[in-house]
Amino acid sequence: MGTFSSRARWAVTTLVVACAGLSAQPAPGVLRLDINLPAYRLAAWRDTSRVGTWAVSIGARQWKTPTGMLAAVAVEWNPWWIPPASPWARGEKVTPPGPDNPMGRVKISLGQLIFAHGTPFPESVGQAASHGCLRMRNDDAIALARLLLVASGIDTGVVHAMATDTATRRVDVVPPIVAALRYDLIEWRADTLWRYPDVYRRGGATLTQALAVLGQAGVDTTAVDRRAISQWLTRRITRPSAWVPTLSE
């Protein structure tokens, strides 16, 4: 990202303060965000209930989106775009709010200069195409911002007014909402094992990982057909691939 500006240092400091005391398991009923980068998916949860799921674009290979525990600390409606002090942004100009703004209608600060934000390029969603942020379709980014602010205790009518206004407005998310960014190439969903392309080339999914995920899901891994799953794992994929566990004879 290059040398941090005073604004950038403020953002990182805000994140450090905001994340103090936060954990991956918030108190019961508290909203939390879960982002699995290779699945290009951002989900909002309360306890075991998923209350929203949206497709995202993640950082391209040369500008990888980081993993780890961050926090949604602020929502900014109708943001200006100020080019960062990075080589890729050299020659770019400050862009006011509007249809050509790279941040779209709203941006959500996750700290470390990482934002979940709208985009004028909805066709890039579902790809590794950003400079590290999480791009979302504008309507999806607005829905997420609404959810975060209502969870902060702001009246739904007030939030609606913000979302439909054209003024630039920054609103803190209090308390900050945990956002877990992970890079899991194997997931268990709806009684099916899902595998995602290794977009950042970190070595691909392994049998050990697959068995661990199955075990956590309550599947008897001693009865799993390991030859079948190994063959599945060695196939080259360019899109999500599903495998329903089969048992060895």
- Write down the pLDDT at residue 246: 74
Write out the DSSP string of 130-164: ESSSEE--HHHHHHHHHHHHHHTT--HHHHHHHHH
- Write down the pLDDT at residue 24: 54
- Write down the pLDDT at residue 31: 97
Q: Is the CB of residue 134 less than 8 Å from the CB of residue 115?
A: yes
- Write down the pLDDT at residue 113: 85
Tell me if the pTM is above 0.85. Answer: yes
- Write down the pLDDT at residue 156: 97
What is the spatial distance between Cα 70 and Cα 67, in angstroms, rounded to a whole number?
9
CA angle 196, 142, 123 (to 5 degrees): 45
- Write down the pLDDT at residue 28: 64
Q: Along the chain (249 residues), what's the average pLDDT of each consecutive run of 10 residues?
A: 32 39 62 98 96 98 96 98 92 94 97 92 96 97 98 97 96 97 96 96 96 95 93 95 80
| 183-197 per-position pLDDT tens digit | 999 999 989 999 999
What is the spatial distance between Cα 199 and Cα 48, in angstroms, rounded to a whole number?
28
